[in-house]
Amino acid sequence: MLKYKKAVPDDYTKVLEVWEKSVKKTHDFLSQKDLEFYKAAIPNYLDAVELLLWYEDEQLIGFSGTQDEELAMLFLDPEFIGKKFGSKVLSWLLENKNIQKIDVNAQNKNAKAFYLKHGFTIASEDETDGFGKNYPILHLVKQRENE
């Protein structure tokens, strides 16, 4: 049974462990230097989002971070990728947090396909990420039901 709990600062070590395992599996386009850069930067953003830890039968499967109507981060332990957990988490966030926007690395083909499959569309693209690094970012939006 999928459950969540709100993360507290004592959980940040677990969050970073999941983040690193997930990124190493899904972001093969990142250089090692940039992986270390982002790993150092991520903790600065955890307090800025509503950070939820997701569990299946008491086992941590991943985490999500939302801010207003934006999904700022969704990372799963690679052991749970491809087993519908991402869809379950995203569905819950769409229903309960009214997620309407997501930014995704254009080079992360699986994430792009995942969000497009769940009804998001590409609104725009930036050639670099928020740090000015050469990783194009797709800005995805979800149409509201009545639009």
The pLDDT confidence band at residue 145, using thresholds 50, 70 and 90, is low
DSSP states of 18-78: HHHHHHHHH-TTS-HHHHHHHHHHGGGGGGGSEEEEEEETTEEEEEEEEETTEEEEEEE-G
Q: What is the mean pLDDT of residues 108-120?
A: 96
The pLDDT confidence band at residue 143, using thresholds 50, 70 and 90, is confident
Residue 147 pLDDT > 90, yes or no? no
Residue 29 pLDDT > 60, yes or no? yes
Q: What is the mean pLDDT of residues 32-48?
A: 95
Averaged confidence pLDDT in the chain: 95
C-alpha dihedral (88, 94, 23, 55), degrees to nearest 10? -40
The residue written with tokens 């930067």 in the block is 41
Packed helices 32-41 and 12-26: angle between N→C axes, nearest 10 degrees: 150
The answer to whether 136 and 105 have CB atoms below 8 angstroms apart is yes
Report the pLDDT value the prediction gives residue 144, as an integer from 0 to 100: 63
* Cα 106-111-112 angle, rounded to 5 deg: 50
Report d(CA 92, CA 99) in Å as an integer.
Answer: 10
Residue 146 pLDDT > 70, yes or no? no
Q: What is the mean pLDDT of residues 125-131?
A: 96
Q: What percent of the chain has pLDDT over 70?
A: 97
Closest among 68, 88, 72 to 80, alpha carbons compared? 88
Residue 126 pLDDT > 90, yes or no? yes
pLDDT digits (tens, 9 = 90+) for 66-103: 999 999 999 999 999 999 999 999 999 999 999 999 99
Return the DSSP state at 146: T
Q: What is the pTM of this model?
A: 0.94
